[in-house]
Copies of this chain bind each other. A is one copy, B any other.
Amino acid sequence: MNIGDVASKSGLPAKTIRYYEEIGLVCPPRGENGYRSFGEDELHKLAFLGRARALGFSIEDCRILLALYEDDGRESAQVKKVAEDHLKRIEEKIAQLQSMRSTLKHLVSSCAGDNRPNCPILNDLARD
């Protein structure tokens, strides 16, 4: 398979796949013409990476998860730890965004949004 094939099958852009090769997440062999030649295993890996990224795991987490996936001697506790840490970071991020949302909602609803200059949003940002 050429890169375009695995791109459409994995859902990842070709650019991203080249990038993943550059940083060592995958290393497809090359054909005579210099084209990357992907097998089912590489496609499987890329799909794995796509799903992990879709769950918000960082590239470094993905690297670890992939290594654990390929390590028969892994302990599920290692995987769980990575996922739990990530979950915790996500929950912190959600809390932070919810706090912003709450403040913003309040500000937006208090602003007339008309053609006059007075604005509670700016007043709040400029408060002393």
Contacts and interface: CB of A to CB of B under 8 A. Distances in A.
A59 interface: no
Contacts of A119: 68, 74, 76, 79-80
A56 interface: yes
Interface in A76-117: 76-77, 79-81, 83-84, 86-87, 90-91, 93-94, 97-98, 100-101, 103-105, 107-108, 111-117
A23 interface: no
Interface size bracket, A side: 35 or more
A121 B79 contact: yes
28 contacts: A51-B125, A55-B103, A56-B97, A68-B122, A69-B125, A69-B126, A71-B117, A72-B117, A75-B115, A75-B117, A76-B111, A76-B121, A79-B111, A79-B121, A79-B122, A80-B108, A80-B111, A80-B112, A83-B104, A83-B111, A83-B121, A84-B108, A87-B101, A87-B104, A91-B101, A93-B97, A94-B98, A97-B97
